[in-house]
Amino acid sequence: MATTDKSTLYDELLDLLTEEANGDRLAAFRLPPEKQERLELLLKKNADGSMSADERGELEEYERLEHLGRMLKARLRQKKNS
């Protein structure tokens, strides 16, 4: 069975998402206040060891989305500077 090159898939997705993206809007994006509060609560629970399995999954989802956001912003900066 062939393996998938994850970096290539990320590159293709990032290119697609940044083609028509509004760079200023993306650069300024922040979580809505209620989502930011939830994230802070999850981080606190993670730090003190009181996190449930469902909460761990929720925090992992925030982490995946945060990573994607950073990658998008980096790709936009790269395109802007080229």
Answer whether residue 6 shows pLDDT above 70: no
Q: Where are the domains of the chain?
A: 6-81
Q: How far is CA 24 from the centre of its chain?
A: 17
Q: What is the pLDDT of residues 22-79, one digit of tens each?
A: 777 877 888 999 999 999 999 999 999 999 999 999 999 999 999 988 888 888 888 8
Mean local confidence (pLDDT), 5-22? 78
- Which comes out higher in pLDDT, residue 3 or 8? 8
